[in-house]
Amino acid sequence: MFLQKPSGKFNWVFGIWIAIFHIGAIAAFFYFRWSAMIVLAITWVLGQNVGIAMSYHRQLTHRGFTTPKWVEYFMAICGTLSLQGGPLYWVAVHRLHHQLTDKPGDPHSPHDGGWWSHIGWILYGSVHNTDQELLTRYAPDLARQPFYRWLSKYHWVPVTILGIVLAAFGGLSWVLWGVFFRVAVGLHVTWLVNSATHMWGSKRFATRDDSRNLWWVALLSGGEGWHNNHHAHPVSASHGMAWYEFDFNYWCIRLLGALGLAKKIKVQGPEGGTARILHG
């Protein structure tokens, strides 16, 4: 069993790192340029929507759809741009969360406090990128692949390269908006799925946990906020299960399908039952 309650040891590395990125995010407002807004939009979609939601979450964790390996690897690299850890770590933690949702051992349950579920579990918790027992137990499929072992070890390299490129072409403004502001806000958006959607919102399905559908988190995250839908049917590539449930991430998956780059797309409707499988 992995200890998830506060260990009493503050993670100074992460604490200092997150403070620096929040300072950079505030500084971005003093270096506003319209071109930086375009950079922010592009890098946000790549890092949060393609990288975290589509790759880390819906494809690698839950296998809601398949793609050619080069597409899968590219999207996983996009996931590292959000600085939420390597794919092995992210997938393992999320699978652990699904196994023990809102029970003892859940890495980020509001049952241990709202602050804990949002950020405290990272500042004081015991699950880290280097926890080999966690990685091999909950992400063995990825651990067997040399690419994911390498990407998890050097997950900071892609965003470093991105920062250098942005500095070369757009200067400090592009770096502050395209890296610091984006990463800081993106962390909180992902953490809101961990915290807010287990405290507030509505339940369509009678799950054995506190997962909720929360529209404003869904808007911020591109569809991840339909969390009760997701916990009821975790393999579904679509989290929005009604016409009014905005799910930008699923639309992007369907676009890949239309281009012949996504297959076996699992789709669950609000009526429940067996998920349909769309072949592109």
Could you tell me the sign of the dihedral formed by the alpha carbons of 163, 169, 175, 178, in that order?
Answer: negative
What is the DSSP code string of 228-253? Answer: HHHHHSTT-S----STTS--HHHHHH
Per-residue pLDDT of 68-81, as tens digits, reads 999 999 999 999 99
| Residue 267 counted as domain residue | no
pLDDT of the residue at 5: 54
- pLDDT value, residue 125: 85
For residue 229, being part of any structural domain is answered with: no
- Residue 4 in any domain: the answer is no
Query: Which portions of the chain are predicted below pLDDT 70?
Result: 1-8, 130, 272-275, 279-280
Element (H, E) at 266: strand 265-267
Residue 249 lies in a domain: no
**Cα–Cα distance for residue pair 43/203, rounded to 1 Å:** 32
* Residue among 62, 197, 19, 206 at smallest CA distance from 117: 197
Task: Report d(CA 193, CA 199) in Å as an integer.
Answer: 10
Amino acid at the residue 256 = L
Establish if 226 belongs to a structural domain. Answer: no
| Average pLDDT of every residue of the chain | 94
pTM recorded for the entire structure: 0.94
Q: What is the pLDDT of residue 21?
A: 98
Closest CA to 148 of 90, 190, 191, 64: 90
Total tally of structural domains belonging to the chain: 1
Residue-range definition of the domain harbouring residue 142? 12-200
Within a domain: 136: yes
pLDDT at 3: 45
Does 98 map to a domain?
yes
Instruction: Report yes or no on 214 lying in a domain.
Output: no
